[in-house]
Structure 1
Amino acid sequence: MKLNYKVCIAALAFVALTEGAFAQVKKKPAAAAPKPATAVPASKADLLPVDPNVITGKLPNGLTVYIRRNTEPKNRAELYLVCKAGSVLETDEQQGLAHFTEHMAFNGTRDFPKNQLVDFLQKSGVKFGADLNAYTSFDETVYQLPLPTDSVAVFEKGFSILANWAGYQSFDPKEIDDERGVVLEEARLRGKNAQERLSLQTLPVLLNNSRYAQRLPIGKEDIIKTFKPETIKSFYHDWYRPDLEAVIVVGDFDPRYVAKLIREYFSLLSNPANEKPRTVYNVPPTPGTAVKIATDKEFPYTVAQIIVKHPGTVVKTITDYMQDMRVELFNQMLNARLGELLQKPNPPFLYGQSSYGGFIGRQNAFSTIVVAKPGELQTAIKAAVAETERARIFGFTTTELERAKQNALLAIDNAYKERDKTKSVNFVNEYQKNFLTGEAIPGLEYEYNFYVNNIGKITLAEMNAMAGKFISDQNRVVLVEAPDKEKDKLPNEKTVLDWIAESGKNLTAYVDTRIDKPLMDKLPAPGKITSIQTDSAILTTTVTLSNGIKVILKPTEFKNDQILINGYSFGGTSLANDQDFPSADMAGNITASSGVGNFPQIQLDKVLAGKNASITPYISDVAQGISGNCSPRDFETAMQLVYLYFTQPRKDADIWQSNITQTKSVLANRSLDPTSVFQDTVSATMSNHNFREMVVTKEQLDGASLDKAYDFYKSRFADASGFTFVIVGNFTVNVIKPYLEAYLGSLPTTNSKETYKNLDIHPPAGQITKTVYKGIGDKSTVELVFDGSYEYNDANNMQMDALESILQIKLDERLREKEGEVYSPGVRASYKKIPEGRYTFTISFQCAPANVDKLVSATMEEINNIKQNGALPVDITKFAAQDARSTQVQLKENIFWAGYLGAAAQNQQDPDAILMHVSNLANVTVQSTKDAANKYLSGANFIKLILLPEKK
């Protein structure tokens, strides 16, 4: 049964605060608390310094430059072009053309006609969409180009590409006409749904009918369909100019060489005569409180947001930075309290969060969001507001503040320890904010020292004053979004405001209860290491413990402060009978949320404050196991948590009831959402209607029990003898051996030799078409699925990966570029050995309902071309280049090795085979792709799933 309500709600809340509110706007970074509008300019002594490791400057034409050498990942660089040109600068006739300009950058420039740019980069190992990408927001457009630096020709060409984007786009009329459909399909993909319709109701209120409310980046459909080339050229001429652009280059290179390339390629760019002033737009404040209640037929949740807007601030000074630290601590403490409410047996809401941070239109905002259970909006609003009021009236406690400081120091300490292993893109993001907003870039070393030296100076009195500064009934917006069917039950504006006002009554101070004990009162009798084997090829050591546990160890230096821990044993829910399956299916998640030993989850979180150790048990369909990570200094804590999840899992009735209550609430309106209805049909069809793979029902929840779940969990972890652990990261084998013996070697064993059962759950054979008619938007979804038996081995896996990549290239070219009627087709090959060898090959896209049949036919035509002729050699070259590049990067990442070594052990594969992967790419040929297409895309087992709007 598949329904993770926590993921559903978290995703919904993110959409509500970002996409739902701002329509295609990237989330803004958190900013510091507001200053009075009459703040005195900062003195030079108060200004934060500039990181000495970054080279900054301007060319004579005004182009801003950031250059930094960084060797992570090795032989790679990030090249970004950042333009202060977004949708707010559009005229009435240009609405949507800032975003359209971004698209046209990939459709022809002076030196790269038509799609030669994308073609060149794909041959160089750069994936379109995944690596090569761009975005357009209200105030900026940003182009990202990750490139290898071990190829001089490719690396230098990257600067030519950026310069072409910056000043030499072609805007060929035919290319413009071809791209209109793609942009419209992007609008369809992201919109034509309940969230878009609700946003159009709420945005004018939220943004006070400002320029931001009138200039959504996606623009207007009629303009996109009909604008003349001169109109978009005018936008490009006015705003793509050196004095509004920055080039950011971070990576493994010689900075002097890069500076030379930038001067060479960008110095000839010029600003237009009679420049238009770059107007800075703001959102005017709203007197008092504005309330907007909006409903939609297909919206499955009832959501309330309370947004108190403040003047925006940018962290430039020491004073700003201190306040930014206070904001971080405030948000952490307040949300810890809200999180505790979710662990009550009958939680007051499905999701709740409050925080102060950056907002749209050069504002900050204190935002509270709650997702209510059906019919319980009042309870949700009052509960969330009560916590902010409790903080305002009574403040926080000393122990809460100390925990928050510990966690903040832990985060900055981890970043500092990884300072020489920081990904280049992280630096790019900092420099981008510096260019766009002026936010300081003092560098990690300065920030670390500042934290260590100053966080202790933050007082409880300062923290207790913050809620009063953030909370106000002025410049406040209250939004309520709900299903149409709830319209008659929704409050009016006055009632909503009354609920908010009443939330602060009859409150008592928060009591910070803690269990002041160590995780383990008594250490277990340790086991012994009985054998050690080493693999000199991939530098792993495999130890066997006296209780039968195997531990595969791979010490690395890829990260300084990271150790990944994963363990598994076969069995899982496949061993549960049908009657007990609903309980067994929840056992892993419930136990992972219930704490361990004497520590309920709330107390466990508190005792782990300041420790970098996270361990989570799980139970899948074929296995049970442990997943987690820690820093080297907290490895023993992580091992203790592993031991406790085996030997002392907690049986928490409150957590059980909370999960049941929230899951039922999510199910209540699930049928309103077309996407959910369609995915439920997909799940049912692909599992041949086996209830274990379908969404849980209310009746199944009613029949589940905590006792059964707890007993099933204990049975799955009662015998550790079949477990294999993989530990990857910064450790020395001899140093961690005693901990392995103490905490893994002492785990209980029964030598049951259990394994999974093959329940024969897979798609039905033959050719099947399922059409779902749901939704009022002019939007369809198509999934085409090929499946069958599969011989799992490295050779077949490579051919399947190649077929996936090559077909992705062909469908991008056909459905997006040629037909212009799909924004982002998706191709996904999935294959497995356990519980039996099976594969699925899925092609998916969204489009206009009228184009479904045409696009399905076009897709099948591209498949048949490969079946008849094999892949084009150029497409094989692109796949091999991209796969080789990604493999080179992955081989330097802990997370790759953790997953790879675990999979190799489970599937009984030779782990050394990865060392031959790049050379084996030569085995992908025209003939091999033809054979693979005929074998795996024969159509003998073919399922066509289509979502269409409701019939009128």
Structure 2
Amino acid sequence: MHLRRSSVLLPVLLLTFLLLPFQRTDTLAAKETVPAVASCLIQGWPHDQSDLKPDPALIFGTLKNGLRSVILVNREPKGRVSLQLNIKSGSLHETETQRGLAHYLEHMMFNGTSHYPPGVMVEYFQSIGMAFGSDNNAHTSYDETVYQLTLPNSERKTLSKGLQLLADYAGGALLLPKEVNRERGIILSEKRERDSATSRIFKADIEQVFAGTLVAQRDVIGVDEVLKKADAALLRQYYEQWYRPDNMILVVVGDADVPLLQELISKYFNPLKVKSKQPPVCPDLGKVAEKGTEAFYQFEPDLGYTEISIGSVWNTEPEAFTQAVALRELQENVATTMFYYRLQRLIKSKDSPMTSASFYVDRIVGRFGLTALQAKTDGNKWQETLAALNMALRQALNVGFSEDELERAKQEILSALRERVQSAASQKSDALAAELIHDLNDNEVPLSPQQEMELYGPALAKLTVTEVNAVFRSLWHERQVIKVAGTAALKPGQDGQKVEETILAAFKTAEAAELTPWEQDEKVVFPYLDPPAATAQVVQQIAYDKIGAERYVFSNGLILNLKKTDFEPNELQVAVAFGQGELSQPKPGLSLLARMLVPESGVGKLEQEQLKAALAKYTSTVHFEVGEDSFQFKGSGLKEETDLLFQLLHTHLHDPAFRADAFARVLRKVEHIYAQMQSSVEGVMQLKGEQFLAGGNPRYGVVPLETLKKLTLADVEEWLAPVLKNAPLEISVVGDFDKEQVLQLAGKYFSEERKGSQQGKGEQIVFPSGKSLTEQVTTATDKAQITVAWPTADFWDIARTRRLNVLAAVLDDRLRKQIREELGVAYSPYVYNQPSLVDPGYGVLRSVLLAEPKQAPVLATKLKQAGAQLAQGKVTAEELTRALEPSLTSIRDMVRTNRYWLESVLINSHRHPQRLEWPLTLQADFSSIKAEEITALAAQYLQPAKAAEVILLPKKE
């Protein structure tokens, strides 16, 4: 349970505590004495210094060279294994002349190792069924570099190849000068691609808040003066200093044989040696200032809104993760959860200046504490927002929380713990491996879900308001930082007063305001609706034995589709599909407002926050979607809450709310969203590029803000209310459920007669073949977006759609090699096919990349040429294998998920019965695809004359 890293942006984030705890400690080889090493190279395990015992399913081992390993047997995805190599070193371990090398080195591992020369590794793993990016990836942060492989099977050969590659990363990097130079452009492209208003504010904020520490100076991506000059020798120096077996942890989670894993780990990792003659020098991380109140200001109009925050920062020291520490962090999470509830209430109060708010507490690399509450607002409301946040904080600090607030937080955390226990068998191996590394790097003892429940459950029951109030106060220290960043254009005063002094004066005024009491909400209950008096009866049952599904038709016309599964025990997913979705919107833009308004409004008798409070002790959730051809309420929860799920769906359909205050909040959020889109090339693609590719059809992309602001609450209600009340329903349920209970609940809660049209007609879309759109975007971010697209076809010829997806994968792989690896001018070019469900004959296969603006025309030509080469040449057998095998692996995983059966098969299958046939051909059809078929599709669809291009260029204001 990741209580130490308690980002309380949402209560659920407090409890993203996957897997990990008690253990048996097996070693792969007798541990030998290792020479003394630098103090920052942590030896042993967190539980060595703790009174907590780790997950007994974990198998810990230490090789004679000091490399540590953890093995966990896990059955999902079936037959697959996640390998993750954790190097306990990141940007904080760089010297001044190495800034950016930890991340640079991570890139270089994909460019040649002892057993995988340049250009071999990615293609080999693709050929055995692994997708580059999702199954073969890495990341670098302040204090860690992690390499991730998710193997397609657990055969000896596959495990050997995967472990050999990670061992190569650990000690066999080639770091060839030619490859170092070529990768430089990719890293600089990544730096450009990641630039945004948000990242610029974040970096400047970090530099001020953590001034005096390495955190302020060691941005992971690095600095140009190092990146442009770094050579193989400099990279090798860092590599040999920090990539040492006694500074690594290998984590293996998956459906594999433990003795085989132990044998192979020993074989590939025991030979690793420390290569550097000198031990690495542990970094002096420095100290933050701990007193004073200061202001941070940055004008960033590209952000689209203004962010206000009140933060506190302090120094701390690493500590053993004992039971006492774990329970203290539990108390912190309860307190921060309660304060988060208050912020959500504050947002929705009358005339609130805020559109969103969050609260978080974090410990950065175990050395620096940070607490902050923040909110989004309009530029001209920054003072009101600062005053509102200050008042909420003082109310919590000076008066404290109530018993009702504490009870809600307890219920929510307990429900999350319960869900963790009941869903443990369906957790995915890659997620569990990542959580293990996070725990170990944070010096936390990894606990199993059951251990978490046994530790935290009784402690929650005993926790008092007095204790929570005290721990909340302990999170605020003497140093405060007041942030105003974004669209608020503040200027120095006429008397020479600095902007920062203006902010501090506003904060001082807020501090001096009379403290008003926090007004508590009344307790609410759910459900509050009586079920219908009549019950609908089943009049027809249809078995789809080949896919293990059933359909029940009720006397009132209700359609109920059922698919029982056992691969996600104790969990089910439900969807209610009705109406025609976007296809039926009478005015362009209504679908966007509807998506936001329905959840923001709550339900008839309960506002959104009241509904959340009433459901605090449950895991079940329901959300609203507007699809191309239908509306949908989708819900998920534990099997024991099946009744509640149906009550939630019933309430959303039968007692909808269209609240004026919610609509006002939605419009303000929309204005922020549009302001962001208008100042980024990615956003302008949504504003203008998508409609261009759809021949100007307003259902594609987003409508102009002026159009959207003309829409009213009445427009949304007049569109949705009749559909919610009258449209025929098709309910689909997938997962671990009791069939008789579901049949009874469906007939009970959805017994009314409903009549209405379920079918709508799309339009003929005219793709702009041979045309181009070039737009200049006023932005401070110096990057261009280039899109080259070709018209394809609609969704419903499933064999064609599958093959077009493979064609997109082939082109994607070619661009990876030509644009990223050979030219080194773009970090992540990508290709995908997007067929329409409703507009006959319309689909778009597009290639997209972000790059330096002056290169945009050349790169647009390169994208067109790549398509033309495919159209005029042929797809090789090797290319097909690399494109197809990862898809086949993905399919094997996908068909063992409730989400696939719900969303790809059952939803709307009454309207489109062919959906029920697709699973029967899915794997066989993909397996049968031939290179000649993809070559023919390329010739048909990727002709140069058919291409259209969208080039979006930045311009300074």
TM-score by length of 2: 0.90
Q: What's 1:36 paired with?
A: none
Q: Which amino acid aligns with 2:133?
A: G
Give me the whole-angstrom Cα distance separating, in 2, the residues matched to 1:788 and 1:341.
48
Tell me which amino acid in the other structure corresponds to 1:631.
Answer: L
| Cα 1:492/1:613, change in 2 over 3 Å | same
Aligned to 1:172: 176
Q: Deviations over 1:51-70 (max 9, x none)?
A: 22111131111111111111
Q: Does 1:742 align with 2:748?
A: yes
- Verify the 8 A CA contact 2:589 2:702 in the aligned structure 1: no
Distance 2:937 2:821 in 1: 26
Is the alpha carbon distance of 1:277 and 1:184 closer, same or farther for their aligned partners in structure 2, counting shifts above 3 Å? same
Where does 1:272-291 land on structure 2 (aligned, <5 Å)?
Answer: 272-279=276-283, 281-291=285-295
| Secondary structure of residue in 1 paired with 2:76 | coil
The answer on whether the counterparts of 2:784 and 2:951 sit within 8 Å (CA) in structure 1 is: yes
Change (3 A) 1:694 1:62: closer
Compared CA separation, residues 250 and 52, structure 1 to 2 (3 A): same
Residues 756 and 835 in structure 1, CA contact (< 8 A), matched pair in contact too? no
Please point out which of 76, 82, 91 is paired with 1:78. 82
Residue of structure 2 equivalent to 1:6: none
Shift of the alpha carbon at 1:730?
0.7
Change (3 A) 1:244 1:893: same
1:205 alignment counterpart: 208
Alignment of 1:260-271 (within 5 A): 260-271=263-274
Question: 479, 483, 504: which one pairs with 1:497?
Answer: 504
State whether structure 2 residue 99 is matched by structure 1 residue 92. Answer: no
Amino acid at match of 1:204: E
Change (3 A) 1:54 1:645: same
Structure 1 residue aligned with 2:865: 861
Assess, with a 3 A threshold, how the Cα gap between structure 1 residues 897 and 379 changes in structure 2: closer, same or farther.
same
Indicate if the aligned counterparts of 2:60 and 2:68 stay in contact, CA closer than 8 A: yes
Q: Please give the residue correspondences for 1:369-448 in structure 2 after superposition, counting only pairs within 5 Å.
A: 369-448=374-453
Secondary structure at the residue paired with 1:376? helix
Letter in 2 for 1:532: Q
Would you say how many aligned residue pairs link Structure 1 and Structure 2?
911
State the match for 2:897 in structure 1.
893
- Correspondent of 1:118 among 119, 122, 136: 122
AA partner of residue 325 (structure 2): D
1:613 equivalenced with 2:616 (yes/no): no
- Matched with 1:244 is 247
Distance 1:278 1:46, change over 3 A: closer
Partner of 1:676: 683
Quote the Cα distance in structure 2 between the aligned partners of 1:54 and 1:903: 43
Residue 671 of structure 1: how far off its partner (Å): 3.8
Residues 334, 409 of structure 2: 8 Å contact kept: yes
Aligned to 1:713: 720
Kindly state the Cα deviation for residue 144 of structure 1 after the two structures are TM-superposed.
0.5
Shift of 1:250: 0.9
Counterparts of residues 457-856 of structure 1 (less than 5 Å): 457-472=462-477, 474-483=478-487, 485-487=489-491, 492-501=499-508, 502-503=510-511, 505-516=514-525, 518-578=527-587, 586-664=593-671, 666-667=673-674, 671-693=678-700, 695-697=702-704, 699-721=706-728, 723-744=729-750, 746-749=751-754, 751-760=755-764, 763-764=767-768, 766-790=770-794, 792-856=796-860
Could you tell which deviates more after superposition, 865-874 or 587-596? 587-596
Distance 1:883 1:132 in 2: 14
Corresponding residue number in structure 2 for 1:944:
949
**Kept in 2: contact 1:126–1:147 (CA 8 A):** yes
**Deviation sequence 1:256-309 (CA, Å, 0-9, x none):** 211111111111111233322433624433431232212235343211232212
Write the deviation string for residues 771-804 of structure 1: whole angstroms up to 9, x where unpaired.
3353344421101121254472121012101101
| Of 223, 226, 233, the match for 1:223 | 226
Q: Secondary structure at the match of 1:946?
A: strand
Q: 1:702 to 1:542 in 2, by over 3 A?
A: same
User: After the TM superposition, which residues 267-416 of structure 1 pair with which residues of structure 2 at under 5 Å, given as runs?
Assistant: 267-271=270-274, 272-279=276-283, 281-296=285-300, 298-310=302-314, 311=316, 316-359=321-364, 362-416=367-421
The amino acid of 1:654's aligned partner reads D
Cα–Cα, structure 1 residues 180 and 608, in superposed 2: closer, same or farther, change >3 Å? same
- 1:258 maps to 2:261: yes
The offset of 1:600, in angstroms, is 2.5
Deviations 1:514-546 (A, max 9, x none): 234642245432111111111111110111111
| Distance verdict in 2 for CA 1:879–1:350, change over 3 Å | same
Deviations 1:630-682 (A, max 9, x none): 22121112212222222221232221222234434554676444543443221
Shift of 1:944: 0.8
CA RMSD of superposed structures (Å) = 2.8
Residue matched to 1:10: none
Amino acid at match of 1:928: E
Show the counterpart of 1:5: none
Q: Report the Cα distance in structure 2 between the residues aligned to 1:417 and 1:614, rounded to whole angstroms.
A: 16
Deviation at 1:813, TM superposition (A): 0.6
User: Which string of whole-angstrom CA distances, capped at 9 and with x for unpartnered residues, describes residues 355-414 of structure 1?
Assistant: 223335622211111112130001111212222221112211111111111111110101
Q: Tell me the SS of whatever aligns to 2:149.
A: strand
Q: CA deviation at 1:14?
A: 8.6
> Quick one: which amino acid aligns to residue 551 of structure 2?
T
Distance in 2 between residues matched to 1:126 and 1:43, nearest whole Å: 35
- Higher mean displacement: 142-151 or 536-545: 142-151
When residues 607 and 537 of structure 1 are mapped into structure 2, their CA distance, relative to the original with a 3 A threshold, is: same
Residue range with higher mean Cα deviation, 600-609 or 884-893 = 600-609
Distance verdict in 2 for CA 1:811–1:921, change over 3 Å: same
Partner SS state of residue 537, structure 1: helix
Do the aligned residues in 2 keep the contact of 1:720 with 1:748 (CA within 8 Å)?
Answer: no
Amino acid at match of 1:153: K
Task: Map 1:47-62; keep pairs closer than 5 Å.
Answer: 47-62=51-66
The alpha-carbon distance between structure 1 residues 457 and 587, as it changes in their structure 2 partners (threshold 3 A), is same
Q: CA, structure 1 residues 594+63, in 2 after alignment: closer, same or farther (shift >3 Å)?
A: same
Bigger Cα displacement from structure 2, 51-60 vs 424-433: 424-433
What TM-score do you get using the length of structure 1 for normalisation? 0.90
Point out where structure 1 has 5 or more consecutive residues left out of the alignment: 1-12, 19-26, 30-41
2 CA distance for matches of 1:649 and 1:203? Answer: 44
The answer (yes or no) to whether the contact 2:570–2:638 under 8 Å persists in 1 is: yes
- Separation in structure 1 between the aligned mates of residue 576 and residue 303 of structure 2, nearest angstrom: 40
Equivalent residues of 1:416, 1:445 under 8 A apart: yes
> 2: distance between equivalents of 1:731 and 1:864?
51
Instruction: Sort the Cα spacing of 1:657 and 1:847 in 2 relative to 1 into closer, same or farther, 3 A.
Output: closer
Contact 1:397 1:512 in 2 (8 A): no
Amino acid at match of 2:322: T
Displacement of 1:625 after TM fit? 2.5
One-letter amino acid matched to 2:236:
K
Shift of 1:759: 4.6
Question: Alignment partner for residue 454 of structure 2, among 444, 449, 452?
Answer: 449
